[in-house]
Structure 1
């Protein structure tokens, strides 16, 4: 008997030499083909995981019976164009769409006649039952979580609430072996699930409609998958968990990841979303990863510091007192952390966002803050029409907001993001102003360019962080011929283009490689490229704060020397003040007094082959670890 050919698409952009293994596709296939009827009747021909040219894809497809598409914001339009082509060539082929970018309801079926079925919610059970219906073993119209056409019209069945987690592993069942074998030059990123579900229902998240009890995957599967990742030299191991570190067994899982890294050198890094109410267990996990050089930063997320905003989005945060304790604990242990905020949430204003960032800095978050623009997602609570109307949400439809991907000049299929640019509490002009402030803080504080001046001024009670960075931004925008002025004037123009739906939230500067840089990283890189001129020009601004002349001169020299640059020849320098000891104390939230004493500072000079390598290592890969300055690799002692 000739088997029915099944093809699965879960495509994504490559990131340089890196690409994601198509976990969802493998997961659904592994469960479906554990059914003997499906295994006997279907052949899983190929999983496509890269955005190949559509004509090339069509040449590799032969008489498909079923083609499934896992759809996300980064492949939605590609999937639609490809599906339409396949349907025109093979009219009897069944086209299935599922994934996070499939809107609730049946709108897609009304708009796209070439799509036969929509799957809503978790896919394993629905997908398997749908394949059984193709074989005549079930009725498709009885399957929960499905939208389809019937003789009586289009129907959408309610989603099922699943308690299942004992699924076969796509890794251990061999669904990715062929991909690994055929692509030896790709540095793969692999995803595992140790649990599924989320107890939270944050309005901006497309898990929000799926608030559910957390279910655990079997440990035997998890440990086996970690061994598979190590054996197959997976570079980055990611966990799809919503709250890693919530359970006691997560420490055992971490131990296994570290053990495999020590055996084979892989995976190189581990990244996940940590438990929202960070605990000592999360700290212990972070310490283990840090010692194994696998930590990409522990997340201490707030999304907003404004209580009214948190109420609007259905979220609760840890107390600021506990956050401050955690920051001191992580800083003293040398474990990198980063804090995330979302810009544009309903109820947020310019004042509340900038006050919130000021508060986080005051609480000790000097390593890294990531400010994400709020995006409208169709499967989130925020995606509902009543929510949009209630909060006056207006979005700009712009080319995909996905930093660090390489633009493909031959790929003429544009994917789009819907970025929130105004609400009842925020005008589009205020949205732009909030972004500019956030870029100034991220580039010049957390990436170090003026961090030591800001720390000194705050510790000496001369001005707040908000005052410093607001004044800095005003200086840039009123001095457009300076290094910072040119950079921020250009970013200001880019943001105007976003509001008018003519641009996106990143830019490409080929000096730093053919990737899309978020504006804060672009600002950092362009400033370092013109570092001498920047510090010469910015001294005019810095002198406004009335710092004593001898301290000012020494501090400016210290600030400049502590920034890592592509080519460094010196291993140290001397300063007239005990800046290393002073800033170590301030960064760890201790009181500090600056003393005038000769201090010898020894650094580990870095060297990169070119600006592209520097940008990738320092601004992209190293940002969460705060490695743009020498604060984590220097030593000091008494000067001569």
Structure 2
């Protein structure tokens, strides 16, 4: 009888959506391509969703090996299940691998029920371990393995990565059963077109695996895209660290677009683009935009501070090149977003605010995502010497994973470690940096006050920095207002993070059951009471002493631009050509505001519910700046001039 193998690569579902367990399938496909493995083992099941542990145990029978792929969203679940399996089947071999397995073998000291740890890329070493367990290899000689021996725990150096000519789990049927048994699930498939990363950013747990980029065979990639097409898999992502680095990535993009044209699947494509964004990435973005598959092109900086960049071992593209790229994408109408990480060593409140101000000056009005720095044990930042040198302090909080729906029956908590202090940042600094970042993301990039900020900057009245710092001061000083109440609640949540009793998201039944990051929560709360918000915020806006006629017209324009959940036909009169003025500004073109009476009309799409609005606009729409009507609004000139713009 063949020995039974079980895999665990579990994640939370996102409504009807779930990820195909690519890593587990990849390891299985390579292992079972070996005749000795295939003759001696049988793959019984790949668990990919969190289930009650009793239900999981009912599906496991006389296991020989149970292998767990670990990350922050399943680490405690995996440990709980592994311990239960070991107690019921003490002879079963328990194997842990993945990004959350620390490289020093310490997990074996903590968890007596784990037999082997695998470090780094897993295909070769997992196959060798399977062979060793049937006497065809020697476990102690396998690179990248931690295990117990008679002399104690050993950890072997990781293997030198070779080529990526591995069999495909998709094309070899390893996911067919999952799709057949879950016909109502919208699956996200993950493919690799290349592997490796030339960078060694301290915060990233790919950094310890710095290696040359190796390409997967193009035949495999095309075959997997066709599999996604033919199986009508909902979404497609690439696990590449630098998609767009190679010219052939344009051809791969063409193949993905052809698949969608044929069957409507995949509906979208997501990836991590090359860090030094190039013309190749631009061409890819253009193609995805035209096909309706673009989920936003990343122009990442992580920080605008030279001191921070030195501390984390990262080099950014030059400011001049970033400005050139912004103009290129804006002129082409391709949505971009820029990512920053809050809490990196060397960052201060002043440097973060100055960095955001600089990005706005450079024209990034589409979207900025400001992520809190998460301490990862397998990153350079996870090392003890790094923590001590930069005085890294963390808050251990419930899992920081927005947009998932909490399951009241899931009794196994997962945890995140958020950097809340460094040598350059106190807890109070961390709080203020977060509040400022939420304000900019909510009121600027989600459009609620963006047009006032753009006008004030264009006309030389005040900087973005001055506008948003004074806005935050006003909000915090007026807790009875819509914005004040919302930010008071967010501030209370930040208290909970610092005391390790809460996380960086919250739920609100008005907008569905999912967890919202605070900037999206603030946006939704504001839109929910939008008339009251604008009545209250007008007091703040009048402090900038804009000419009364201009102010009244600009205020009318601003309050009608944010999307509304149930609006259909919108029209309003203004005395200035605000529409062209702001469209040109958002495209990076300096324009003089002309007095020209016109009626602005918007054919809006009404939503069925607040929940649908929240999902489509606040969640899905952020990366392509989809929270205002600026793209679909048009003007009808008055004074007997019927020309439309």
Other-structure match for 1:477: 476
Deviation per CA, 1:125-172: give whole Å up to 9, x if none: 010000001111011011000000111211111111111200000000
Other-structure match for 1:427: 426
User: What is the rounded CA distance, in whole Å, between the counterparts of 1:287 and 1:637 in structure 2?
Assistant: 30
> Is the partner of 1:342 in helix, strand or coil?
strand
Query: Structure 1 residue 51: deviation in Å?
Result: 0.2
2:241 maps to 1:231: no
User: What is the rounded CA distance, in whole Å, between the counterparts of 2:121 and 2:598 in structure 1?
Assistant: 60
Other-structure match for 2:102: 103
Other-structure match for 1:258: 257
1:102–1:379 CA contact under 8 A, matched in 2: yes
2:143 maps to 1:144: yes
User: What is the rounded CA distance, in whole Å, between the counterparts of 1:252 and 1:534 in structure 2?
Assistant: 48
Other-structure match for 2:398: 399
Other-structure match for 1:213: 212
> Is the partner of 1:603 in helix, strand or coil?
strand
Instruction: For structure 1, list consecutive stretches of 5 or more residues without a partner in the other structure.
Output: none
1:12–1:50 CA contact under 8 A, matched in 2: yes
User: What is the rounded CA distance, in whole Å, between the counterparts of 1:316 and 1:636 in structure 2?
Assistant: 44
User: What is the rounded CA distance, in whole Å, between the counterparts of 1:335 and 1:591 in structure 2?
Assistant: 19
Other-structure match for 2:66: 67
Other-structure match for 1:364: 363
In the TM superposition, what are the counterparts of 1:153-302 in structure 2 within 5 Å? 153-302=152-301
User: What is the rounded CA distance, in whole Å, between the counterparts of 1:584 and 1:61 in structure 2?
Assistant: 59
Query: Structure 1 residue 595: deviation in Å?
Result: 1.6
User: What is the rounded CA distance, in whole Å, between the counterparts of 1:512 and 1:434 in structure 2?
Assistant: 26
> Is the partner of 1:325 in helix, strand or coil?
helix
Query: Structure 1 residue 105: deviation in Å?
Result: 1.2
Query: After alignment, is 482-491 or 566-575 more displaced?
Result: 566-575
User: What is the rounded CA distance, in whole Å, between the counterparts of 1:40 and 1:221 in structure 2?
Assistant: 25
Deviation per CA, 1:66-88: give whole Å up to 9, x if none: 00000000000000000000000
User: What is the rounded CA distance, in whole Å, between the counterparts of 1:161 and 1:405 in structure 2?
Assistant: 37
Deviation per CA, 1:261-303: give whole Å up to 9, x if none: 1000000000111111111111110000001100000000000
Other-structure match for 2:319: 320
Other-structure match for 1:492: 491
Other-structure match for 1:47: 46
Other-structure match for 2:598: 599
Other-structure match for 1:468: 467
User: What is the rounded CA distance, in whole Å, between the counterparts of 1:418 and 1:591 in structure 2?
Assistant: 44
User: What is the rounded CA distance, in whole Å, between the counterparts of 1:537 and 1:156 in structure 2?
Assistant: 62
Deviation per CA, 1:487-515: give whole Å up to 9, x if none: 00110110011011010000011111110
Query: Structure 1 residue 573: deviation in Å?
Result: 2.5
User: What is the rounded CA distance, in whole Å, between the counterparts of 1:3 and 1:631 in structure 2?
Assistant: 63
Other-structure match for 1:38: 37
Deviation per CA, 1:327-359: give whole Å up to 9, x if none: 111111110000000000010000000000000
User: What is the rounded CA distance, in whole Å, between the counterparts of 1:88 and 1:367 in structure 2?
Assistant: 53
2:543 maps to 1:544: yes
Query: Structure 1 residue 635: deviation in Å?
Result: 2.1
Other-structure match for 1:503: 502
Deviation per CA, 1:568-623: give whole Å up to 9, x if none: 13243321110001111211222221122112222221211110000000000111
User: What is the rounded CA distance, in whole Å, between the counterparts of 1:601 and 1:224 in structure 2?
Assistant: 49
1:599–1:638 CA contact under 8 A, matched in 2: yes
Other-structure match for 1:514: 513
2:2 maps to 1:3: yes
Instruction: For structure 2, list consecutive stretches of 5 or more residues without a partner in the other structure.
Output: 640-645
> Is the partner of 2:8 in helix, strand or coil?
strand
1:574–1:639 CA contact under 8 A, matched in 2: no
> Is the partner of 1:376 in helix, strand or coil?
coil
> Is the partner of 2:635 in helix, strand or coil?
strand
User: What is the rounded CA distance, in whole Å, between the counterparts of 1:571 and 1:440 in structure 2?
Assistant: 27
User: What is the rounded CA distance, in whole Å, between the counterparts of 1:292 and 1:574 in structure 2?
Assistant: 35
Query: After alignment, is 75-84 or 572-581 more displaced?
Result: 572-581
In the TM superposition, what are the counterparts of 1:500-579 in structure 2 within 5 Å? 500-579=499-578
> Is the partner of 2:44 in helix, strand or coil?
strand
2:330 maps to 1:331: yes
User: What is the rounded CA distance, in whole Å, between the counterparts of 2:629 and 2:35 in structure 1?
Assistant: 59
2:374–2:418 CA contact under 8 A, matched in 1: yes
Deviation per CA, 1:370-395: give whole Å up to 9, x if none: 00000110110000000001100000
> Is the partner of 1:98 in helix, strand or coil?
strand
Deviation per CA, 1:155-190: give whole Å up to 9, x if none: 111111111200000000110000001001110001
2:397–2:418 CA contact under 8 A, matched in 1: yes
Query: After alignment, is 67-76 or 548-557 more displaced?
Result: 548-557
Other-structure match for 1:22: 21
> Is the partner of 1:382 in helix, strand or coil?
helix
User: What is the rounded CA distance, in whole Å, between the counterparts of 2:370 and 2:403 in structure 1?
Assistant: 16
1:564–1:606 CA contact under 8 A, matched in 2: no
In the TM superposition, what are the counterparts of 1:433-452 in structure 2 within 5 Å? 433-452=432-451
User: What is the rounded CA distance, in whole Å, between the counterparts of 2:570 and 2:515 in structure 1?
Assistant: 33
1:242–1:275 CA contact under 8 A, matched in 2: yes
Query: After alignment, is 104-113 or 393-402 more displaced?
Result: 104-113
User: What is the rounded CA distance, in whole Å, between the counterparts of 1:536 and 1:639 in structure 2?
Assistant: 28
> Is the partner of 1:449 in helix, strand or coil?
coil
User: What is the rounded CA distance, in whole Å, between the counterparts of 1:121 and 1:219 in structure 2?
Assistant: 24
Query: After alignment, is 357-366 or 545-554 more displaced?
Result: 545-554
User: What is the rounded CA distance, in whole Å, between the counterparts of 1:499 and 1:345 in structure 2?
Assistant: 17
> Is the partner of 1:64 in helix, strand or coil?
coil
Other-structure match for 2:610: 611
2:462 maps to 1:453: no
